Amino acid sequence: MTRTVSLPVESNGGESVVSRLVAAMLEHEVAPSVLVPARQPFGKSPVQTLFTDPDRAVDADPLAPVVPASSATILGKVTRRATERVVAAFLRPCEV
C-alpha cells in the first residue's frame, strides 16, 4: 500500500523541508541512519553523508544539482554485509 505525506514548503525553499524530514526520521526512529547528500564545511560540493544525529541533519541537501559520486554506489558499499540495521537513503530517479 502506498503512503503519501505532504510537507509544507517555507519561503526558503525545499531544502529545509527535506532536512527537517531527515531529522524527523532519526528522531522518531524510522531508521537509525539516513544516507543523503549534505553540504560540507570544507568544500563547495555536497557529498553523501550517513546521518545518525538529528541535530546534524540541517546540512542535508538532497536537492543539490551535482554530487561527486552515485548515492546508489555508496549505499551498496554501506549495505554490502547483511545487517539488522535499517538504512534510509535519498536516491535520485537515475540512481535507482
pLDDT tens per residue across span 36-93: 888 888 877 888 889 999 988 888 888 777 777 888 888 888 888 877 788 888 887 7
Best CA proximity match to 33, nearest among 57, 12, 15: 57
> What pLDDT score was predicted for residue 2?
60
CA dist 33 and 60 (Å) reads 13
> What pLDDT score was predicted for residue 53?
92
> What pLDDT score was predicted for residue 52?
92
Over 60: is that where the pLDDT of 1 sits? no
* Burial (CB count within 10 angstroms: exposed 0-12, middle 13-18, buried 19+), residue 29: exposed
DSSP string, 38-95: E--TT-SS-EEEEE--GGGGGGB-TT-S--SS-HHHHHHHHTSS--S--EEE---GGG
